[in-house]
Amino acid sequence: MTFVTRKIVVPALALVALVSGAGTAHAAAVDYVGFAWETGTLAPSNPGDVLAAAAVVTQIDPLFEVDLGGVEGTLFIDGLVSTGGYVDGLGRTVIGYVGGGISVYADPAHNADWGVNPANGTVPGTFVDGDLVFSGNFTSFTLILDPSGGGVFEGYVDGTGGSALAGPCSGCAYTFSGTFAAPTGAQIPAGYDLQIDGVLDVESTVSVESMSWGAVKNLYNPGR
């Protein structure tokens, strides 16, 4: 799998096409890969189910002043409460969430371990230790399941803490987005619902670019 720093915001609602917006000033990005799970299982997503995710950082912009050669970057999401899903005209299941928070850490221990059947002895523990680089609260979050079993997700975040807010990322807009693989095509540990791959993108203003569903998938899964 190849990981590249991506410098555009990719909302999940853009499965058909995105509407062009205002220009952006790119600040920084955090690339990650990991696994997510939902209480009650993701399909179906019932109102009140809670979505969480644990990931390791694969690339991070130098502006965050985190050296992945010396520390391990981890990311944890919790508290996203499902409002239920519906099937749209293209056969995709659209699920909305409220609440939830995200945090990014830098830890010299290099001990991140997903284990099985989260929450467990290592999740969230080994993903929320170390120095807090960024934390924030979701203002919106949407996940879309494609009929093939894969899909995309996107959420907007208000930054609340961490060393990043004291530097060039203060006053920025944050978008958390990415894709996930179908369970039949990914090696997913027991108890997890999704393998995720995406980016926490930081922009001075939020903007989007016209993009097809295929282009969205290719952005996060180049060469597949």
- In angstroms, the CA 224 to CA 218 distance is 7
In the structure, what pLDDT confidence band is assigned to residue 62 with cuts at 50, 70 and 90? confident
> Would you state the pLDDT for residue 21?
35
Lookup: tokens for 95: 């699920």
Q: pTM for the complete prediction?
A: 0.79
Q: Across the strands, what pairs with 52?
A: 37
DSSP 88: -
> Would you state the pLDDT for residue 164?
85
Lookup: tokens for 94: 């659209």
Cβ-contact 38, 76 below 8 angstroms: no
> Would you state the pLDDT for residue 44?
83
Tokens 């540990």 found at: 189
Residues 93-149: tens digit of each pLDDT: 999 999 999 999 999 999 999 999 999 999 999 999 999 999 999 999 999 999 888
pLDDT over threshold 60, residue 43: yes
Q: Which of 14-28, 57-71, 78-92, 152-166 has the lowest mean pLDDT?
A: 14-28
> Would you state the pLDDT for residue 23?
42
pLDDT over threshold 70, residue 15: no
Residues 188-216: tens digit of each pLDDT: 999 999 999 999 998 754 344 433 444 44
- In angstroms, the CA 103 to CA 57 distance is 12
Strand, coil or helix: 102: strand
